Amino acid sequence: MSTNTMTESVLASEDWVLVEEGHRAGSLIVQLRRSVHVLSWLHFVYAEGNSSKVSLDFGDHTLTITGHGLSALLEAVAQHRVIRLIQPMQNQAKFNVRESGSQVGRPVITQILVDDDDQIEAYQ
């Protein structure tokens, strides 16, 4: 991992919540539109991705996250600082707006898929 880390404001997004710098989250809460998953960081295997798609593997659960500017999310995941991922409502994702207004130029999640080896949940 590079010694050039992103600043706290660049890592931030309305679509994910971080624990304080220097701390590690014990679990990851994945808040979908119609359900919630809580995954332990102890089961985290690996992450990969780019600015538009990130995959997180927790053993028997795989998360596929799509959006924009997700490199910031990937760095926060590498530090185990993400405590919550929030899938926006359909219109929020479609029009790229959140409660605080337009998110143009900010990191955003448009979709989260959860594959738990038995079924895949996708709320588009």
Q: For residue range 14-47, what is the model confidence (pLDDT) as tens digits?
A: 889 999 888 999 999 999 989 999 999 999 999 9
Task: Decide if 83 contacts 76 (C-beta within 8 A).
Answer: no
> Which residue in this structure is represented by tokens 């990969």?
48
pLDDT, tens digit, 9 for 90 and up, residues 60-78:
999 999 998 999 999 999 9
pLDDT, tens digit, 9 for 90 and up, residues 95-106:
666 665 545 567
- How high is the pLDDT of residue 95? 66
Pick 10 or 80 by higher pLDDT: 80
Count of H helices and E strands in the chain?
3, 11
CA 20 to chain centre: 16
